[in-house]
């Protein structure tokens, strides 16, 4: 099936590193998508908070742009775009709803609602079309000896009947990928607890306390880093981590990566595609930890090899 690519607005601003690392990882895995010409905003939370028909129409303009690429489906890295596009298609199966959406557009969408494009997350495509074994085979620099808390947020698999991917309460897609990269995944209980979403602008106390709880719990489970697949979750956990620290009166200093950045790191992809320098919380201590663990393993292996050689030599000497 030919798939189009919908980057989402935040890829041009606050989640540049997600956009860049997603493209790099997909390229490395041989996944090719045609970018949609002149795509527009899906409306995100504010549109459906206002009106579901308006939200549907903002999504549906993109359905028409997708059709221009000749693709049957579309992939997006952003869970909010994913949810809006999926929900719009789902609701437009109802003829009355579709008619109200079509009335807001310059020209109506395709007559047969079933022919509207299906939307998938990049995460789903990586997991289902590539899979953990092929990812493991691609790893050149395993994330050895580090513990990762996988944080999925609300939208990736909810509501379950529409999203049709992973478990709505205990998703494991990123767990499988992180394990394939060589990391240890902690048994994180707040995988799908809300980070405060788009409430940060109007109510920092809400995002501060909800994100703070996620970060504090990740720390208490011994995580060295958190990974996420969502630009908004990432902003709340990384860029707003200082606000969460002040709200909770705790220090976290917990690096928060996009899962694609860690994939790229383990694949040995160039720094300029991973853009780790865009992260607000300094990832250097984490990267040094991985390097120390790797060096310790290599040193131990070299030591074992030397000991084995010496043993063999001394046995040879004794025999002759």
Partner 1 sequence: MASIRLDQVRDAGFLHEVEEESGQNISTCYQCGNCTAGCPGAGFYDRQVSQIMRAVQLGLKDEALRNRSLWLCLSCSTCTARCPNNIDVARVMETLRHMARREGLVQDRPIESFWKSFLDTVKLTGRSFEIGVMADYMMRTGRGWGNMDMAPAALLKGKLPFLPSCIRGRDEVARIFKRYAETKKEGQQ
Q: List interacting residues with partner 1 (CB under 8 A).
A: 9-10, 12-14, 16, 38-41, 43-54, 57-58, 61, 65, 100, 103-106, 154-155, 158-160, 168-169, 192-194, 196-206, 209-210, 239-240, 242-243, 277-280
Q: What does the angle CA 48 – CA 226 – CA 201 come to, to the nearest 5 degrees?
A: 40
In the numeric block, which tokens belong to residue 276? 């780790």
Residue nearer to partner 1 on the CB measure, 150 or 192: 192
Determine the angle formed by the axes of helices 204-220 and 241-248, rounding to 10 degrees.
80
DSSP SS3 for 176: helix
Q: Retrieve residue 38's tokens.
A: 């002149």
Q: Which residues pair with 73 in a beta bridge?
A: 3, 118
- DSSP reduced 3-state for 142: coil
Dihedral, 196, 274, 277, 37 alpha carbons, nearest 10: -70
The least CB distance from residue 154 to partner 1, in Å, is: 4
Q: Which is nearer to partner 1, 10 or 261 (CB)?
A: 10
CB of 210 to partner 1, least distance (A): 6
Min. distance of Cβ 217 from partner 1 in angstroms?
13
Query: Rounded distance, CA 181 to CA 170, Å?
Result: 20
Nearer to partner 1, 150 or 243 (CB): 243
* Distance in Å, CB of 213 to partner 1, minimum: 9
Closer to partner 1 by CB, 29 or 206: give it. 206
Nearer Cβ to partner 1 (132/168): 168
The maximal CA–CA distance of the chain, rounded, in angstroms, is 94
Cα distance between residue 196 and residue 204, in whole Å: 9
In the complex with partner 1, the residue whose CB is nearer, 135 or 254, is 254
- Shortest separation between residue 200's beta carbon and partner 1, angstroms: 7
Nearest to 7 by CA among 58, 82, 73: 82
Give the position of tokens 């040879």.
316
For residues 2 and 68, what is the distance between their CA atoms, to the nearest angstrom?
Answer: 12
Q: Which residue, 30 or 159, has its beta carbon nearer to partner 1?
A: 159
**Separation CA 141–CA 181 (nearest Å):** 8
Min dist. Cβ of residue 159 to partner 1 (A) = 5
Measured from the CB of residue 267, what is the shortest distance to partner 1 in angstroms? 23
CA distance 145 to 97: 52
Query: Which position has the token pair 């070299």?
Result: 302
**Which residue has tokens 């789903």?**
124
Other CB atoms within a 10 A radius of the CB of residue 199 amount to: 17
Q: Which two tokens stand for residue 263?
A: 């994939």
Nearer to partner 1, 129 or 209 (CB): 209
Q: How far is the CB of 72 from partner 1 (least distance, A)?
A: 22
């Amino acid at each position: 099936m030919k798939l189009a690519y919908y980057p989402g607005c935040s890829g041009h601003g606050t989640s540049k590193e997600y956009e860049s690392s997603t493209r790099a990882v997909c390229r490395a895995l041989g996944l090719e998508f045609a970018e949609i010409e002149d795509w527009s905003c899906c409306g995100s939370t504010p549109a459906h908070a206002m009106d579901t028909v308006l939200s549907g129409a903002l999504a549906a303009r993109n359905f028409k742009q997708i059709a221009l690429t000749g693709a049957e489906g579309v992939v997006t890295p952003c869970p909010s775009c994913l949810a809006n596009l999926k929900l719009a298609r789902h609701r437009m199966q109802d003829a009355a709803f579709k008619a109200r959406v079509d009335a807001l557009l310059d020209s109506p969408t395709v007559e047969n609602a079933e022919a509207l494009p299906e939307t998938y997350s990049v995460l789903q495509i990586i997991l289902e079309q590539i899979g953990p074994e092929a990812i493991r085979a691609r790893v050149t620099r395993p994330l050895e000896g580090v513990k990762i808390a996988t944080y999925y947020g609300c939208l990736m698999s909810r509501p379950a009947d529409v999203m049709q991917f992973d478990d709505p309460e205990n998703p494991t897609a990123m767990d499988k990928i992180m394990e394939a990269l060589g990391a240890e995944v902690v048994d994180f209980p707040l995988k799908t607890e809300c980070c405060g979403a788009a409430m940060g602008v109007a109510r920092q106390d809400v995002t501060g306390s909800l994100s703070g709880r996620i970060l504090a719990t990740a720390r208490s489970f011994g995580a060295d880093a958190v990974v996420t697949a969502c630009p908004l979750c990432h902003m709340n956990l990384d860029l707003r981590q200082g606000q969460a620290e002040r709200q909770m009166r705790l220090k976290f200093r917990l690096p928060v990566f996009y899962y694609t950045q860690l994939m790229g790191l383990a694949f040995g992809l160039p720094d300029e595609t991973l853009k780790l320098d865009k992260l607000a919380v300094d990832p250097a201590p984490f990267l040094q930890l991985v390097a120390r663990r790797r060096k310790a393993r290599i040193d131990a292996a070299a030591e074992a090899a030397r000991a084995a050689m010496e043993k063999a030599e001394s046995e040879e000497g004794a025999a002759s």
